[in-house]
Amino acid sequence: MSFNTASNAGNFFQTDTSLAENDRKGRKAANTLGDPVRFSSKLLDVEANYFFDDSGDVVFVAEASGSVTGLRLSTNEISSTPRGPQAPLTSLAYHATKSTLDPFTTMYIFAGCWDKSIWRYTFRFADETTQGRQVTEHTSFPAHRDFVKCLLVARTPDGRDILISGGTDGDIRFWTLDGQSLGWLKPNCRGIECIVLDPLSSPDSPVVMFSTSKQEIFFFTLPDSTDIASGKLGLSPPLLVHETGVYQLHFDDDGDLWTASADNTAKHLSRNDNWNVDTTLVHPDFVRDVVTHDTYGWVITACRDEEVRVWNKATGQLHHIFTGHFEEVTRLCLVNDLLISVSIDATLRRWSLAPTDLEKAVQEAKQPRPLEQEPEPVTELPMLTEEEEAELRALMEAEEEEMLDKMARDEQ
């Protein structure tokens, strides 16, 4: 796949009541903290693609413009897949296969979309080359009755790789990699927010966990692919550790579970204590994502207040705040010691967790620059149109309204 630097920006009308906020964001947007890379639209997901480059040097982002865009971290080179979706993309998943009879590797990028479908981008490339990796096909198939929110590629006990999707319609659906339906699970809940595979579960009985926009965390054991349609999916009783929706689930190296929630907390659930809460990290706003760097003992969270926080995993103490984004931070991913964050401010930023670099960041944060050294506001930011901006904001805030409604109705 060839890469070339690309970016564009747009403007949208600002009312008088938003001038102060726009000035704040414009001034903050001028910063270069986190070595920002600007994209053409808001970013809703980011994943390192080790099939594309086994060093982790290439990440892909899901854009609100409907693009899946690749970024080579070492060079900042950007390359977009062929344009297909006309609506925001919310989530990404990867899969690659190689036959002993075929010198080429086939790789798929799956993207969940607002248009209720799943898009699939097919790459074919020889293992010995990193050049010329182009999309050979991009197709889509209808998947849900509402927005597709999350995706997972998993292997069934009978050795078949399948795609699992969750939507705001509250359904879990199962697919072959070419988009044929294998069955579905209706857990009688609201929107599905995140689906993950328990890394310590056996390949003979893989355990899948998922969270909802209400507050539940469920899990089930994945059966043979031939048994999915027969309904042989036993759903666990819900884990209820949050007051409202759970946006993300993350397993650390010990197999413990970390959660990110709209109740302004991230929590640590201990596997050895029957998934009871061991640690609670309190934030000033919704927590959108959580990851762990287990070698150094850090927990990192993304918050709607525009900040990325680094916590001491053992003590739960806040160690550092990475400031740079000027809109809500939506997702995080780790590539070795490099933390990647993306935001609806349309930037991807990188933060080093290497001990020397992190300590330097901590010391610099204690000595903020004088006001006269602050950069001038950015006059043109990468934005959607006013109509697209309102639509995206409505999606991001719909869960908050739903949760407040739940508190009024469900808990009476």
The single-letter code of the amino acid at 96 is: A
Q: Which of 3, 275, 240 is nearest to 132 (CA)?
A: 3
Q: Is 66 left (phi over 0), alpha (psi -120 to 50) or beta?
A: left
Q: Provide block-wise average pLDDT over 10 residues at a time, the chain (412 residues).
A: 45 58 78 94 96 93 95 92 88 88 84 97 74 77 97 97 97 97 92 97 97 96 92 89 97 98 98 97 98 98 97 97 96 98 97 98 83 45 54 59 49 40
Is residue 321 one of the residues assigned to a domain? yes
Amino acid occupying residue 126: A
Q: Return the pLDDT at 232.
A: 74
Q: Does some domain include residue 275?
A: yes
Split into its structural domains, the chain has a count of 1
User: What are the strands, taking DSSP E only, across 127-264?
Assistant: 135-142, 148-155, 161-167, 172-175, 181-185, 192-197, 207-212, 217-221, 246-251, 257-261
Assess if residue 307 is contained within a domain. Answer: yes
**Domain, as residue range, for 252:** 243-365+375-384
Determine the pLDDT at residue 354: 98
Contacts of 277 (CB under 8 A, 6+ apart): 241, 267, 268, 269, 270
Within a domain: 161: no
Q: Would you say residue 93 lies in a domain?
A: no
Residue 404: partners with Cβ closer than 8 Å, 6 or more residues away: none
Residue 79 domain-assigned? Answer: no
Please report the pLDDT score of residue 81 as a whole number: 80
